[in-house]
Amino acid sequence: MAQDQSMKTMRLYDQVERILNELHHLGIDEDAPLSVEDLTPFDQYHYHGTQAVDEAAHLLGATPQTEILEIGSGIGGPARHMANATSCKVTAVELQPDLSTLAEQLTGRCGLADRVEHLCGNALDKPLGDRTFDAIMSFLVFLHIPARAELFSVCHSLLKPGGSIVIEDYIKLGEPSDKQAEDLRVKVQCPYVPDMETYRQHLLDAGFVSVEIEDMSASWTAFTGERLAAYEARREHNVKVNGEDLTDGLHDFYATTAGLFADGVIGGVRILARRD
């Protein structure tokens, strides 16, 4: 399991308080109340932003009665959007303390603290004790966790009978060069990536049933390419708001992921699975 300090070699996780710089640039003061929509341009650390969360809500059949666990909740974007859009309750578990603390502050400023609970911890350590949930969602997190048998066994145990999990994650498409393998390990903190059928088998081995896998590879290749182009087009703004070092670091991260998709090394999947 990648520890939280090495996680910072992935520049997406460096200086996450940059979202406050963006809000400041928009004229929103440090302690001012916020709407969820104020944050969504900046707080979704996965592909296709709130659209992906809406699709997860649909797949999970989320209602105001649904209790959802989010594994790897970043600075809280998906959890807040899910709770705001469906009125469900979300428990958001995040490994990195700085991300979790910021997530909790932003959620409080949105007035959502009664519906989104933030917890800092490693999901593999079962920081929730014996609590179980109607559903689990996890966007671009499991790529950081190579211990898949342990991970999916924990996920299975966290679901109530009949509960569902939605996962968005990487899959392996082609053989990486040595440089690409190192970029994946260091800059993307992704030490292991299975192909689609191996992924399916891991879930079946953990006891999941009805494993449905949607291939997102083409869509995520386009998204990461467009994200890179949009970031480059806003370089002047980015340097002004976040400084040159962070801008260059994020540019390198966006270029690295776009390249891994464009070169056919990695693809993506959206998975819906259920426990009996």
Give the CA dihedral 188, 253, 170, 70, nearest 10 degrees.
80
End-to-end CA distance of the chain: 28
Closest CB to ligand SAM among 189 and 242? 189
Interface with ligand SAM (CB under 6 A), residue from 11, 46, 81, 187? 46
Interface with ligand SAM (CB under 6 A), residue from 20, 28, 85, 124? 124
Asked if residue 139 binds ligand SAM (CB under 6 A), the reply is: yes
Beta strands in 95-158 (DSSP E): 116-120, 133-139
Closest CB to ligand SAM among 77 and 194? 77
Judged by CB under 6 A, which stretch of 135-143, 205-213, 234-242, 267-275 contacts ligand SAM? Answer: 135-143
| Rounded Cα–Cα distance for residues 199 and 192 (Å) | 11
Nearest distance, CB of residue 186 and ligand SAM, angstroms:
15
Asked if residue 73 binds ligand SAM (CB under 6 A), the reply is: yes
Phi, psi of 263 (to 5 degrees): -85, 0
For the chain, how many residues are written?
276
Per-residue DSSP letter, 130 = T
Asked if residue 95 binds ligand SAM (CB under 6 A), the reply is: yes
Nearest distance, CB of residue 130 and ligand SAM, angstroms:
18
Asked if residue 72 binds ligand SAM (CB under 6 A), the reply is: yes
Closest CB to ligand SAM among 33 and 97? 97
Nearest distance, CB of residue 276 and ligand SAM, angstroms:
25
Asked if residue 256 binds ligand SAM (CB under 6 A), the reply is: no
Closest CB to ligand SAM among 144 and 270? 144
| Rounded Cα–Cα distance for residues 26 and 127 (Å) | 37
Separation of CA 84 from chain center:
18
Asked if residue 152 binds ligand SAM (CB under 6 A), the reply is: no
SS3 273: strand
Number of residues that bind ligand SAM (CB under 6 A): 24
| Rounded Cα–Cα distance for residues 234 and 239 (Å) | 9
Beta strands in 85-207 (DSSP E): 89-94, 116-120, 133-139, 159-172
Residues near ligand SAM (CB under 6 A)? 1, 7, 44-46, 71-74, 77-78, 93-96, 99, 122-124, 139-141, 144-145
